[in-house]
């Protein structure tokens, strides 16, 4: 994003967690492109993260390319110092979250102008009750499985319809389904969250996902909501940044 301050200097220091907001010092930027990946929406997205996050994403691109997948499209990671992203999401604030497009239909790498204008294609039917069979294929399963095998993955958020499809379709080793969790939206991209890097005492690590493959009543809950939507909640209000972030966010 233009006009944003650069990273806060010093060694890596991550403050906060996925549900509290936070900040990061010592972030590095994912290059705009590399083997197997491109960033998109460069005008409005942010591509800074912990060095481990950036390394894992580069590994993801390399592995996807080796598997013959189209170029991965990386959307938001974090701002150079973390903190809230436009859109008000509470995660993506500490350099440990990344959004990667799901659509694996064969296509060439995007041109510079297409990288700005592309809207990632939803893999889910408009009614939210299943994947769109005109775009869904085993390639997306392979991609999610590859993502779940990256180092230090805490969890991967996808639309409940995608999780449901995996529950019904994945055979053989299903242990990785444990890391694939249903969440609102996420029909066009997966949200990869990495664990707090070792030694980051101020990084709040969320509890691990419940044991099991998650193909149970907790998944059905999401579809029950479609029948009886919960009352609209109060508008989202970002929590204040942890006090330890003041110095990181204001360093000049
Ligand atoms: Zn995300």
Domain edges within the chain: 13-225
Confidence at residue 109, expressed as pLDDT on a 0 to 100 scale: 95
How far is it, in rounded angstroms, from Cα 188 to Cα 166? 15
How far is it, in rounded angstroms, from Cα 77 to Cα 230? 30
pLDDT tier at 218 (50, 70, 90 boundaries)? Answer: very high
If you measure from the C-alpha of residue 242 to the centroid of ligand 1, how many angstroms do you get, rounded to a whole number? Answer: 21
If you measure from the C-alpha of residue 225 to the centroid of ligand 1, how many angstroms do you get, rounded to a whole number? Answer: 22
On average, the pLDDT of the chain sits at 93
Report the percentage of the chain scoring pLDDT > 70.
93
If you measure from the C-alpha of residue 91 to the centroid of ligand 1, how many angstroms do you get, rounded to a whole number? Answer: 7
If you measure from the C-alpha of residue 45 to the centroid of ligand 1, how many angstroms do you get, rounded to a whole number? Answer: 11
- Is it the case that residue 124 has pLDDT exceeding 90? yes
CA torsion through residues 45, 48, 52, 55, sign: positive
Confidence at residue 61, expressed as pLDDT on a 0 to 100 scale: 98
Tell how far CA 45 is from the center of its chain. 13
Beta-sheet pairing, 153-158 with 180-182? parallel
CATH number attached to the domain at 13-225: 3.30.1380.10
């Amino acid at each position: 994003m233009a006009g944003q301050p650069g990273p806060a200097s010093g060694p890596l220091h991550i403050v906060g967690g996925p549900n509290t907001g936070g900040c990061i010092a010592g972030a590095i930027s994912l290059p705009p492109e590399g083997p197997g990946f491109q960033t998109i929406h460069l005008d409005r997205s942010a591509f800074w993260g912990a060095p481990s996050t950036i390394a894992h994403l580069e590994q993801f691109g390399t592995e996807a390319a080796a598997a013959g997948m189209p170029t991965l499209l990386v959307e938001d990671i974090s701002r150079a110092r973390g903190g809230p992203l436009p859109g008000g999401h509470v995660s993506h604030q500490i350099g440990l979250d990344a959004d990667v497009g799901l659509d694996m239909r064969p296509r060439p790498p995007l041109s510079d102008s297409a990288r700005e204008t592309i809207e990632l294609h939803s893999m889910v039917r408009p009614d939210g009750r299943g994947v769109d069979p005109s775009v869904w294929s085993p390639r997306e399963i392979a991609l999610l499985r590859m993502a779940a095998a990256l180092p230090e993955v805490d969890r991967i958020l996808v639309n409940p319809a995608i999780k449901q499809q995996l529950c019904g379709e994945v055979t053989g080793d299903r242990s990785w389904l444990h890391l694939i969790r249903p969440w609102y939206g996420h029909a066009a991209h997966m949200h990869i969250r990495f664990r707090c890097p070792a030694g980051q005492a101020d990084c709040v690590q969320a509890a691990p996902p419940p044991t099991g493959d998650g193909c149970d009543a907790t998944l059905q809950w999401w579809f029950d909501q479609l029948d009886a939507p919960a009352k609209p909640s109060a508008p989202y209000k970002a929590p204040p940044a942890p006090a330890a972030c003041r110095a990181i966010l204001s360093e000049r």
